[in-house]
């Protein structure tokens, strides 16, 4: 469900930064960033289509796990994703246009350039490119010209969605409250030292911190 007053495309474009935030967490793990970004865009589209504002959650809280889920699919060893015939046809057309544009520009076009050529938004273009990607095995047999590819995925990745969602809600605070949270939880200062930095008393910091944490918890959980 698209947020009131915003079109589907507007909500996608407004939150494209979430895709970059998620994709950046997987840099250097054997997959090109462009592929991570494309998969993340597919997740963003799914999140936009499935989001229900009436449940009281922030869009980012709902979207980040969906985006991460699509990105993580790249690293999974298993069956291929089934793609509908209509999407396959659109994907083939997108790849032909990508090849034509590459010849015209003398280099591979960016997703933005291809999106403009196709008359689509960036996320939809990424979805088509993702659909056109060949399925590869992460554990191909060496006798078949493969050889196992080990992709290091660390356990802390399970906490990425929580971290990104937290950053999103902290960004909604006013500057003084953000500074208080930064000093207390990012720099690890005591309430007394934080009070000195902010020109407040220790009691004032303690009280305000409780108010801020309650607000953040409410925004994160609805």
The verdict on residue 211 lying in a domain is: yes
- Give the 3-state DSSP-derived string for the chain, with helices as H, strands as E and coil as C: CCCCCCCHHHHHHHCHHHHHHHHHCCCCCCCCHHHHHHHHHHHHHHHHHHCCHHHCCCHHHHHHHHHHHHHHHCCCCCCCCCCCHHHHHHHHHHHHHHHHHHHHHCCCCCHHHHHHHHCCCHHHHHHHHHHHCCCCCCEECHHHCCEECCCCCCHHHHHHHHHHHHHHHHCCCCHHHHHHHHHHHHCCCCHHHHHHHHCCCHHHHHHHHHHHHHHHHHHHHC
> How many structural domains does the chain have?
2
User: Is 148 inside a domain boundary?
Assistant: no
What is the pLDDT, as a whole number, of residue 190?
86
Asked whether residue 99 falls in the same domain as residue 209, the answer is no
Tell me the pLDDT of the chain averaged across its residues.
75
Residue 221 is predicted with a pLDDT of 59
Same domain, residue pair 182 and 87: no
Specify if 163 maps to a domain. Answer: no
Tens digits of residue pLDDT in 168-210: 777 788 999 989 988 887 778 888 899 999 999 999 999 999 9
Q: What is the pTM of this model?
A: 0.42
Query: Higher confidence at residue 138 or residue 14?
Result: 14
| 52 and 126 share one domain | yes
- Give pLDDT tens digits for 28-76: 777 788 888 888 888 888 888 888 777 766 788 788 888 888 888 877 6
CB count within 10 Å of CB 6 equals: 15
Q: What is the average pLDDT across 123-148?
A: 55
Task: Give the domain extent around 216.
Answer: 173-221
Q: Assess whether 127 and 34 both reside in one domain.
A: yes
Answer with the one of 115, 137, 159 that is the final residue of a domain. 137
- Of 109, 137, 165, the domain-final residue: 137
Distance CA 168, CA 62 (A): 12
Task: Check whether residue 19 and residue 81 sit in a common domain.
Answer: yes
Domain-embedded: residue 215: yes
Residue 149 lies in a domain: no
Give a yes or no: residue 143 inside a domain.
no
Greater confidence (97 vs 187) lies with 97
């Amino acid at each position: 469900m698209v947020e009131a007053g915003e079109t589907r495309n507007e909500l996608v474009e407004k939150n494209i930064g979430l895709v970059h935030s998620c994709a950046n967490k997987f840099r250097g793990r054997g997959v090109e960033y462009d592929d991570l970004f494309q998969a993340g865009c597919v997740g963003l589209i799914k999140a936009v289509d499935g989001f229900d504002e009436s449940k009281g959650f922030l869009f980012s809280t709902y979207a980040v796990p969906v985006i991460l889920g699509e990105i993580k699919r790249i690293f999974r060893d298993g069956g291929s994703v089934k793609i509908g015939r209509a999407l396959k046809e659109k994907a083939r057309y997108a790849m032909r246009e990508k090849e034509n544009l590459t010849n015209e520009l003398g280099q591979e076009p960016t997703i933005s350039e291809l999106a403009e050529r196709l008359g689509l938004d960036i996320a939809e273009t990424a979805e088509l490119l993702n659909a056109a990607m060949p399925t590869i095995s992460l554990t191909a047999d060496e006798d078949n010209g493969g050889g196992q590819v080990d992709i290091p995925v660390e356990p802390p990745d399970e906490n990425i969605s929580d971290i990104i969602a937290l950053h999103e809600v902290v960004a909604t605070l006013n500057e003084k409250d953000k500074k208080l949270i930064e000093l207390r939880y990012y720099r690890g200062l005591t309430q007394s030292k934080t009070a000195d930095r902010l020109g407040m008393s220790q009691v004032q910091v303690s009280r305000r911190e409780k108010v801020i944490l309650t607000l953040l918890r409410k925004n994160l959980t609805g």
